[in-house]
Amino acid sequence: MQTYSSNVSTQRDTRAWQLQVWISFGLAVFLCATGLGWLPGQALDRAFMVMGYVFCLSAAFVLAKFVRDNQHGSVPSAGDTPMWKLVVWGGFFTAMGLTGWGLLRMEISETSKAFLAVSWLFLISSAFTLAKTLRDRHEADIALDRMQGRREARGEMHSEMREAE
């Protein structure tokens, strides 16, 4: 009979890190909303920028998931076709490009443009960090569940073997 010991450790983000990530993301959303809410100019320009920011945010989450799902590179995730890869990357670059173009062409002060650009990039970078943090937590939960299942299975196997003796 071989006994396998499990010396696998599951790394988890600290509560402080998780709090920092959520605060950072919340702050980025707040700053973007403030900048867009107080944006001078035409209503159509404001609507375009809001749509652009939302498009960029959703594209960032989709790209983060796509990249993470394919991190090992050898076996693409189920359903990931070359066309899906094009849609994901194309969607992200289209969202970023159109939003940047819209921001540059707006007739607002350079200070307003700078605030909107910095808050927009802060939003995108914090979205990637949040996506990674949430995925890390999910994967750690799965690993712990698997380890617990193996421990329980070994415990049942050992008790059955004792009963058979």
| Three-class HEC string of 87-152 | HHHHHHHHHHHHHHHHHHHCCCCHHHHHHHHHHHHHHHHHHHHHHHHHHHHHHHHHHHHHHHHHHH
Domain boundaries, the chain: 15-145
Say what the pLDDT of residue 1 is.
40
Q: How far apart are CA 27 and CA 124, in angstroms?
A: 12
pTM passes above 0.85 = no
Say what the pLDDT of residue 158 is.
66
Say what the pLDDT of residue 95 is.
97
* Backbone torsions φ then ψ of 16, nearest 5 degrees: -60, -40
The tens-digit pLDDT sequence of the chain (165 residues) is: 444 445 556 678 899 999 999 999 999 999 999 999 998 888 888 899 999 999 999 999 999 999 988 886 656 566 678 899 999 999 999 999 999 999 999 999 999 999 999 999 999 999 999 999 999 998 888 888 888 887 777 776 666 666 666
Q: Which two tokens stand for residue 83?
A: 């066309």
Say what the pLDDT of residue 115 is.
96
